[in-house]
Amino acid sequence: MGPLAFVGGDEWSDGCEFDAELLKASGGSQVLVLPTASAFERPERKVVAAAEWFDGLGAQVEGLMVLSRDDAQDEGAAEAVRRARFVYLSGGSALHLRSVLKGSKVWDALREAWEGGAVVAGSSAGGMVLTDPMVDPRGGALTVGLGLVSGLTVVPHFGDVHQDAHGEKLHRTVALAPEGLPVVGIPTRSALVRDATGGWQAWGPVSVFVDGKAAEVSALRS
């Protein structure tokens, strides 16, 4: 399986130096961006932002406008994902992203690409849905995710008072997590990366909670 990156938000901006390492790990110079989670928020802007950012890293971006369920069932879109060596899911609405991709041809292709060694990265909502369980962004409880990986759940925008003014959502997530399930808080412009060997690395001040207590990134299972 290829590297897998969970980004805390504010993707493709100064501070996201880990993108250069992910690009190197992909072995190529092309990044396929799915702005699915931003379908109702001018998704083309996400693609432009990604293109400008990765241009500075010597790479080209292709935007794959999988915005609806019909788009996700398109065989041409699925084939584009299947061929990609670096797939990046943008932030936005985790619930929309999940509903569009769940059980779709594009999702099956993404899993196939990753299992074949491609890099997969998801920022904010794009990272949340990759786990099972995933955090429900409406209140912090746990719900069903897409399950590219299990054994942990992630909270993006960790420490952002605009996202969770009093820390209530995070507290709820930690309190409701099943015994032994790590809850990982990832600040913006930070990342938790699982490498191709199954090891975990934090880029930035990532926090891990297990059974309500702070833990080390090393506590995450491969």
Enter the DSSP assignment of 215.
E
pLDDT along the chain (222 residues), means of 10: 97 96 97 98 97 98 98 98 98 97 98 98 98 93 96 91 73 92 95 95 95 91 72
- Give the per-residue pLDDT at 146: 98
Q: Is the peptide bond before 178 cis (omega within 30 degrees of 0)?
A: no
Asked if 81 and 110 touch (Cβ cutoff 8 Å), the reply is yes
What pTM did the predictor assign?
A: 0.96
CA distance 87 to 46: 14
How many alpha carbons fall within 13 Å on the CB side of residue 129? Answer: 28
Fold of the domain built from segment(s) 4-219: Rossmann fold (3.40.50)
Show me where the domains of the chain are located.
4-219
Query: What's CA 189's distance to the chain center, in Å?
Result: 12
